[in-house]
Amino acid sequence: MDALEEQVFYHKSADGRVRVESGTLGLAVDYRFDREFREPYEKTKDRRYLCRKPCFSDADYLASNRTEVARKVESLKVLKPQVYDCNDENSLTRWEAPFDFCFSEHCLAAFRTWLKTQYADLAALNAEWGTDFASWEKVVPDLTDEAKARAKRTGVRGYAAWADHRRFMELTYMNFFADVKAEVERHDP
Give how far Cα 188 sits from Cα of 41, 54, 87, 96, 111, Å: 42, 25, 18, 34, 32
- For the cut 60, the answer to whether the pLDDT of residue 81 exceeds it is yes
Rounded to 5°, the CA angle 152-160-151 comes to 0
More confident residue, 17 or 189: 189
Most confident of the following: 16-20, 26-30, 147-151: 147-151
- Beta carbons of 20 and 80 less than 8 angstroms apart: yes
Residue range 38-56, pLDDT digits in tens:
788 889 989 888 888 888 9
Q: What is the pTM of this model?
A: 0.79
Q: What mean pLDDT is predicted for residues 11-30? A: 46
Q: What mean pLDDT is predicted for residues 18-43? A: 62
Residue range 92-103, pLDDT digits in tens:
665 555 678 899
